[in-house]
Amino acid sequence: MQKEKIYVTKSSLPDYNKFCEMIKNIWDSKMLTNNGYYHQILEQKIKEFLQVNNITLYTNGHLALENALNLIKGQIPAGGGLEIITTPFTFVSTIHAIVRNGFKPVFCDINPDDYTIDVSKIENLINENTCAIVPVHVYGNICNVEKIKEISKKYNLKVIYDAAHAFGERINGESVANFGDISMFSFHATKVFNTIEGGCLAYNNNAYKQPLEQLKNFGIKNEDVTNFIGGNAKMNEFQSVFGICNLDELSNNIEKRKLLYHKYLELLKDIKGIKLNKLNEKISYNYSYFPIVISEEYGLSRESLIELLNKNNIFPRKYFYPLITELDCYKNNYDSTLTPIALDISKRVLTLPIYPDLEPEKVEEICNIIKKRELK
Ligand SMILES: *Cc1c(COP(=O)(O)O)cnc(C)c1O
């Protein structure tokens, strides 16, 4: 019999009967989208869950981020600079959202231990054209939010967090949604909490609510007035119901992930040449990713290890490789050697399978293969 394939993640689905029971109401109301009943419920639930003043839901995280940056752009005085300091060690969405809004990304290197933006290198990149910082809580590692706040105040910069990986996390007891001007969370099928496709913006400035609502709905203010040039990025009722049901299971899912995460830590901690993600005791994590970084001491290259795991039907992913500045659409305009740590990590990182119903025995099997460096 063909062994079951294990991928880096497996989408979390809500209870089938509960989902069906709720969507019956959609057949009665015939309200499929446009800030419907379930949309409003989900928005309220997420607002409470993230403990933030405002939530705007989106059909996906990428458009949420594009809209957040679009809003910021509208506030820049004519002739103002359009440089945004960000990280090259992220999913393409972050940088595409910056560039598609007409901003210029300026890449800052990352920390070698938690892969977030290296705050000690931000100030050197600031000039009169800098308008914002877009840091990423990569793998759920929360950035140095205090230092970023300090820098942003000093230079009067906006901060938009790509918090796609950090849904539900806290630092020093504070919700991750409460840092910077706006945080974007992704509810894509592969994320720790999903609405099939989906996402949201979280922000405390009430003045952002109205323009963001308009930007995601063609700029329409009311029946008679359209005073923004907006796109369409609305979340529909099916996505909302999926989210309402999935949210109930999130804390349980995070607990299951936590057990697997600690099992990996325990089993991999003494293997030479395998560097583990450095945990910060102030953070309560969602355990959405398990990255390892492979060095020469390990004896096998990353590609050989992937081949070994693939032969055993295990499919880890090279998040994030190639580095953004190495991609065909960016490589001619940017120099990866300016962010040497990010470049180096991207060539050696591997994210291992982790999802709530992954059996602990599978984690043992994966760790054994990594330990033995050969097929069982
Ligand atoms: C998933 C992800 C996004 C985009 O979210 P979607 O909901 O898939 O559009 C943006 N940034 C990062 C870092 C992500 O991982």
- Report the CATH number that the domain containing residue 305 is assigned in CATH: 3.90.1150.10
- Enclosing domain of residue 80: 16-244
Ligand 1 atom showing the smallest separation from residue 65 Cα: 10
Same domain, 341 and 201: no
pLDDT value of residue 243: 98
Output helix, strand, coil percentages for the chain, rounded to the nearest 5. Answer: 40, 15, 40
Per-residue pLDDT of the chain (376 residues; tens, 9 = 90+): 457 899 999 999 999 999 999 999 999 999 999 999 999 999 999 999 999 999 999 999 999 999 999 999 999 999 999 999 999 999 999 999 999 999 999 999 999 999 999 999 999 999 999 999 999 999 999 999 999 999 999 999 999 999 999 999 999 999 999 999 999 999 999 999 999 999 999 999 999 999 999 999 999 999 999 999 999 999 999 999 999 999 999 999 999 999 999 999 999 999 999 999 999 999 999 999 999 999 999 999 999 999 999 999 999 999 999 999 999 999 999 999 999 999 999 999 999 999 999 999 999 999 999 999 875 4
Nearest alpha carbon, ligand 1 atom 10: 93
Ligand 1 atom showing the smallest separation from residue 138 Cα: 13
pLDDT value of residue 1: 47
C-beta of residue 65 within 8 angstroms of C-beta of residue 162: yes
pLDDT value of residue 125: 98
Residue 304 lies inside a defined structural domain of this protein: yes
Whole-number Å distance between alpha carbons of 19 and 26: 11
Ligand 1 atom showing the smallest separation from residue 97 Cα: 10
Does residue 140 line the site of ligand 1, with CB under 6 A?
no
Whole-number Å distance between alpha carbons of 187 and 198: 5
Among candidate residues 184, 115, 173, 182, the one with its CA nearest the CA of residue 144: 115
Does residue 116 line the site of ligand 1, with CB under 6 A?
no
Same domain, 234 and 256: no
Same domain, 234 and 263: no
Whole-number Å distance between alpha carbons of 171 and 156: 24
Residue 1 lies inside a defined structural domain of this protein: no
Whole-number Å distance between alpha carbons of 35 and 275: 46
Ligand 1 atom showing the smallest separation from residue 62 Cα: 9
Residue 26 lies inside a defined structural domain of this protein: yes
Same domain, 204 and 292: no
Same domain, 260 and 231: no
Same domain, 230 and 284: no
Does residue 93 line the site of ligand 1, with CB under 6 A?
yes
Residue 5 lies inside a defined structural domain of this protein: no
Q: How far is the CA of 211 from the centre of ligand 1 (A)?
A: 22
Q: How far is the CA of 194 from the centre of ligand 1 (A)?
A: 11
Ligand 1 atom showing the smallest separation from residue 64 Cα: 9
pLDDT value of residue 375: 54
Q: How many domains does the chain have?
A: 2
Whole-number Å distance between alpha carbons of 93 and 91: 5
C-beta of residue 184 within 8 angstroms of C-beta of residue 157: no
Within 13 Å of residue 50, how many CA atoms lie on the same side as its CB? 28
Does residue 137 line the site of ligand 1, with CB under 6 A?
no
pTM, full prediction: 0.98
pLDDT value of residue 233: 98
Same domain, 263 and 234: no
pLDDT value of residue 2: 57
Same domain, 210 and 306: no
How many residues does this entry show for the chain? Answer: 376
Q: How far is the CA of 361 from the centre of ligand 1 (A)?
A: 30
Ligand 1 atom showing the smallest separation from residue 61 Cα: 7
Does residue 136 line the site of ligand 1, with CB under 6 A?
yes
Same domain, 91 and 105: yes
Same domain, 90 and 41: yes
Does residue 162 line the site of ligand 1, with CB under 6 A?
yes
Does residue 195 line the site of ligand 1, with CB under 6 A?
no
Same domain, 224 and 258: no
